[in-house]
Amino acid sequence: MSYIKDFFSNYVLMSAIVGWFCAQLIKVIIELFQKDRKNLLQIFFSTGGMPSSHSSSVVSLCIACAIGAGLASPYFAITLVLAGVVMIDASGVRYETGKQAQLLNKITKELFKGNAEEFNSGLKELVGHTPFQVLMGALLGVAVAVGMAFAMGVL
C-alpha cells in the first residue's frame, strides 16, 4: 500500500497531472459558453484548444523539478528542454497540421457533396495551439506547480 501513497505524494508527478487536468477542465468551462456546444466529455479528453494542456503539464513538471530539485539539477535541465520542444511543436507543426486538415476537409466535402456515403467524418482539425494558447498553458503550469508546492508542503 505504500506504493499508492508514494505515487500520490510525488510532488513532481502530481504537479504535471494536475496541470493537465486544470487545462482540460478550463477547456470544458470555455466550451460551456460557446454557441455550438460539443460533447463536453469529448472536449475534456481532446487535444488542441485553450489553454494548451501539453504546455501546462510540461511547464508544471519543469517548475516542480526546479522547486523540488533546484535549478542546477539534471531533472530541471531535462524538463526545461522537454517543455521547450513540446511547446514549439504544439504551436508549430501541430498547429499547421490542424490548418491543413481544415483545408482538406473543405476539399473533400466539395468533392463528395453528391455522394455522402463516400465522405467520412473528416480529419481532426483541432490538434495544435496558437502561441497565445501555449503561453496561457505555460502560465497555468507555473501557477499549478507553485500551488502544488504549497499544498504538498514542499514550500
- In a domain? residue 107: no
- pLDDT above 80: residue 14: yes
pLDDT digits over 97-147, tens only? 666 666 766 767 766 665 655 555 565 555 567 889 999 999 999 999 999
Give the Cα separation of 15 and 54 in Å (integer): 13
- What proportion of the chain, given as a percentage, has pLDDT over 70? 72
Is the four-CA dihedral 133, 29, 40, 151 of positive or negative sign? Answer: positive
- In a domain? residue 136: yes
The average pLDDT across 27-36 equals 80
- In a domain? residue 98: no
The average pLDDT across 70-87 equals 96
- In a domain? residue 133: yes
User: Which residues span the domain enclosing 8?
Assistant: 2-92+128-151
pTM: 0.78
- In a domain? residue 70: yes
- pLDDT above 90: residue 42: no
- In a domain? residue 55: yes
- In a domain? residue 139: yes
Domain count, the chain: 1
CB-based contacts of 4, cutoff 8 Å, min separation 6: none
In whole numbers, what is the pLDDT of the chain averaged over residues? 84
For residue 116, the model assigns a pLDDT of 54
Q: 104 or 67, which is more confident?
A: 67
Give the Cα separation of 100 and 56 in Å (integer): 25
Q: SS3 letters for the chain?
A: CHHHHHHHCCHHHHHHHHHHHHHHHHHHHHHHCCCCCCCHHHHHCCCCCCCCHHHHHHHHHHHHHHHHHCCCCHHHHHHHHHHHHHHHHHHCHHHHHHHHHHHHHHHHHHHCCCCHHHCCCCCCCCCCCCHHHHHHHHHHHHHHHHHHHHHCCCC
For residue 74, the model assigns a pLDDT of 97
The amino acid sitting at 65 is C
- In a domain? residue 137: yes
- pLDDT above 90: residue 152: yes
Give the Cα separation of 128 and 86 in Å (integer): 11
